[in-house]
């Protein structure tokens, strides 16, 4: 990018005359939120006047405040590197930076920016540079873990106020992240990846909520680094072990991002190493950390936080595509990086595939049970049959024949409601364990179908309704044959079918994309392949609230 396209203050700071010390060659690096100016011995970081909602640097006062936060928080893991916050002034001679602790004579002029002043760390000792030379070893990652564990156990602050961010903050951040990557669907993230990630979020919160709550109780919510990638780690003195490591450039701009589970820090570096093609080092790092930290629940939450971190990085890289001061070549490179991050996030999502709740809907004799059994086998799903459950509730053998009239005795409205509730209770247990369920019942009433949809939403499962129908001559023949054989739990007869037909409420309330219709009297209708194909395109019911 030509210097003339930069803000005047940044143009001015490309001149050695702006600095209170010798500079050597001045380099400018841009991120979506900062300008970073590298001189021979020092680095100056200036915040861009941007407001992304989760980050607000829109006024000079806010930028000064967050410079102070950056200085304070980064001194926890990199104390000698972060020197001071220094003013940048506009003078008659151009832009000038105050010297540290300057009193008396100095640049006179209006303060137009503030910069975080840092001592320059050795570039060749940065972890990402060492990775490029294949010079990072597993013991070195053990030292990083040795630096992090005491920080997470004591150095990173915690309190009732910090712990209160707990579960709600990450839920909020996840929802916000989804909203912010949505404009980039078709640019850096595909519609299919978007669907996979939303499904995963639903499934995780439905099945791991107890773990997340337990981690709050165990004081795992602390003021963390929250952006722990390999380019934020410097092995300043490799011989000094953990004490020779500097971990810098933490998040300072939003407490709901910094007040987070320590697992997020661990998973961030794990994700970054895997992104850089070193899953072996990622595994070594997490193994070292878990050995030192005694954190039994960590394996349950690492993939979730790793997926979240990959999505954050994908989103951040995507932001550069719309940044007016970023050169086109950098935008193209950012788009490629963003796409790779979203691909990685989807791989983490595969660690917890969403369960499915499929309900059959249709009249007696249409073939619902046959279809349910086939779906159960193909999906490795639990099949719960309403006829079996109904009879088990009253202590009957499933094959014992009952000739009660429709809506009477064993088939009364009250008994039917109890049967559906028992089906839902059994399904909930299976879904919470991550197992898909097929509910084999008639589901002729909307209230029961709506209850099933609520259950899917509450458990993070994908929901679908398979409406099964058939020609009446085929139904009459099947019902007669079933009674004659006597091997089925169903007591349905032709007269029951006629009564059901009169009261049947069509599943018009089920969204079209979740309703799969099958006519079993047609040729080839018993194949479940079309149903399985339709199920692959079902989206989650909602992003968690």
- Each of the 545 residues of the chain gets a pLDDT tens digit; together they read 566 789 999 999 999 999 999 999 999 999 889 999 999 999 999 999 999 888 999 999 999 999 999 999 999 999 999 999 999 999 999 999 998 866 655 667 899 999 999 999 999 999 999 999 999 999 999 999 999 999 999 988 999 999 988 878 889 999 999 999 999 999 999 999 998 899 889 888 878 888 999 999 999 999 999 999 999 999 999 889 999 999 999 999 999 999 999 999 999 999 999 999 999 999 999 999 999 998 989 998 999 999 999 999 999 999 999 988 788 999 999 999 999 999 999 999 987 777 899 999 998 888 888 899 999 988 889 999 998 898 888 777 656 655 555 555 677 888 889 999 999 999 999 988 888 999 999 999 999 999 999 999 888 788 999 999 988 888 888 877 666 655 554 556 677 778 888 889 999 999 998 999 999 887 666 678 888 888 877 755 443 33
Which segments of 151-297 does DSSP mark as H helices, in order? 160-163, 166-181, 191-217, 255-258, 262-275, 279-293
Q: Are 468 and 518 in contact (CB under 8 A)?
A: yes
66 CB-near residues (< 8 Å, 6+ apart): 47, 57, 252, 253
Whole-angstrom distance, CA of residue 52 vs CA of residue 179: 12
Q: pLDDT tens digit string along 214-264? A: 999 999 999 999 999 999 999 999 889 999 999 999 999 999 999 999 999
Element housing 495 (H / E): helix 494-503
Task: Please name which of 466, 543, 468 lies closest in space to residue 510, comparing C-alpha atoms.
Answer: 466
Whole-angstrom distance, CA of residue 494 vs CA of residue 505: 19
> In this structure, is the dihedral angle defined by the CA atoms of residues 250, 255, 257 and 260, taken in order, positive or negative?
positive
> In this structure, is the dihedral angle defined by the CA atoms of residues 490, 494, 500 and 506, taken in order, positive or negative?
positive
Task: Compute CA distances 20 → 17, 68, 95, 300, 533, whole Å.
Answer: 8, 21, 12, 51, 67
CA-based radius of gyration for the chain: 31
327 CB-near residues (< 8 Å, 6+ apart): 1
CA 70, 75, 81, 85: dihedral to nearest 10 degrees? 40
Q: Where are the beta strands (DSSP E) in 262-373?
A: 356-361
Q: pLDDT tens digit string along 75-90? A: 999 999 999 999 999 9
Which segments of 504-543 does DSSP mark as H helices, in order? 529-535
Q: pLDDT tens digit string along 450-483? A: 999 999 988 878 899 999 998 888 888 887 766 6
Whole-angstrom distance, CA of residue 198 vs CA of residue 183: 15
Q: Are 129 and 123 in contact (CB under 8 A)?
A: yes
- Given the DSSP bridges, would you call strands 94-97 and 82-91 parallel, antiparallel or unpaired? antiparallel
> Global pTM?
0.70
- Packed helices 298-319 and 166-181: angle between N→C axes, nearest 10 degrees: 40
| Predicted pLDDT of residue 231 | 95
Task: Compute CA distances 276 → 154, 230, 262, 279, 304, whole Å.
Answer: 30, 9, 22, 8, 19
């Amino acid at each position: 990018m030509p210097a003339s396209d930069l803000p005047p203050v940044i143009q001015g700071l490309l001149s050695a005359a702006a600095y209170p010390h010798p500079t050597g060659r001045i380099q400018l690096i841009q991120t979506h939120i900062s300008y970073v100016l590298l001189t021979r011995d020092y680095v100056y970081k200036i915040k861009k006047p941007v407001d992304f909602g989760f980050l607000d640097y829109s006024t000079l006062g806010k930028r000064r405040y967050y410079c102070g936060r950056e200085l304070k928080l980064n001194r926890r893991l990199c104390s000698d590197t972060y020197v001071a916050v220094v003013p940048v002034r506009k003078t008659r001679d151009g832009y000038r930076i105050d010297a540290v602790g300057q009193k008396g004579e100095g640049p006179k002029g209006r303060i137009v920016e503030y910069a975080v002043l840092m001592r320059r760390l050795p570039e060749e000792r940065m972890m990402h540079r060492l990775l490029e030379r294949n010079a990072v070893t597993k013991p070195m990652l053990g030292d990083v873990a040795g630096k992090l564990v005491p920080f997470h156990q004591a150095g990173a602050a915690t309190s009732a106020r910090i712990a209160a961010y707990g579960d709600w903050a990450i839920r909020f951040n996840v929802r916000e992240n989804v909203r912010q990557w949505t404009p980039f669907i078709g640019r850096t993230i595909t519609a299919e990846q978007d669907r996979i990630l939303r499904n995963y979020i639903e499934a995780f919160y439905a099945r791991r909520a107890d773990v997340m709550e337990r981690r709050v109780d165990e004081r795992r919510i602390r003021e963390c680094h929250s952006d722990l990638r390999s380019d934020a780690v410097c092995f300043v003195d490799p011989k000094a072990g953990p004490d020779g490591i500097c971990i810098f450039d933490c998040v300072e701009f939003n407490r709901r991002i910094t007040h987070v589970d320590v697992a997020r820090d661990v998973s961030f570096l794990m994700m970054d190493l895997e992104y850089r093609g070193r899953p072996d080092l990622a595994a070594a790092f997490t193994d070292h950390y878990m050995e030192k930290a005694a954190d039994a629940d960590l394996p349950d939450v690492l993939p979730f936080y790793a997926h979240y971190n990959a999505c954050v990085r994908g989103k951040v890289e995507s932001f550069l595509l719309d940044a007016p001061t970023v050169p086109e070549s950098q935008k193209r490179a950012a788009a490629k990086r963003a796409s790779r991050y979203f691909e990685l996030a989807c791989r983490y999502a595969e660690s917890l595939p969403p369960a499915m709740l499929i309900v059959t809907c249709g009249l007696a004799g249409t073939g619902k049970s046959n279809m349910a059994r086939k779906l159960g086998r193909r999906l490795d799903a639990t099949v719960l049959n309403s006829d079996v459950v109904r009879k088990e509730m009253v202590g009957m053998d499933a094959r014992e024949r009952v000739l009660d009239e429709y809506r009477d005795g064993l088939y009364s409205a009250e008994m039917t409601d109890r049967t559906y509730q028992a089906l839902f209770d059994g399904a909930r247990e299976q879904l919470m364990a991550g197992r898909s369920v097929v509910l084999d019942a008639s589901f002729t009433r909307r209230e029961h179908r709506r209850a099933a949809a609520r259950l899917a939403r509450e458990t993070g499962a994908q929901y679908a309704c398979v409406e099964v129908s058939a020609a009446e001559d085929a139904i009459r023949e099947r019902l007669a044959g079933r009674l004659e054989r006597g091997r089925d739990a169903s007591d349905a007869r032709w007269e029951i079918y006629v009564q059901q037909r009169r009261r049947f409420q069509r599943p018009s309330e089920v969204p079209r994309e979740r309703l799969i219709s099958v006519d079993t009297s047609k040729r080839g209708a018993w194949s479940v392949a079309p149903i399985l194909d339709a199920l692959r395109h079902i989206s989650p019911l909602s992003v968690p609230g």
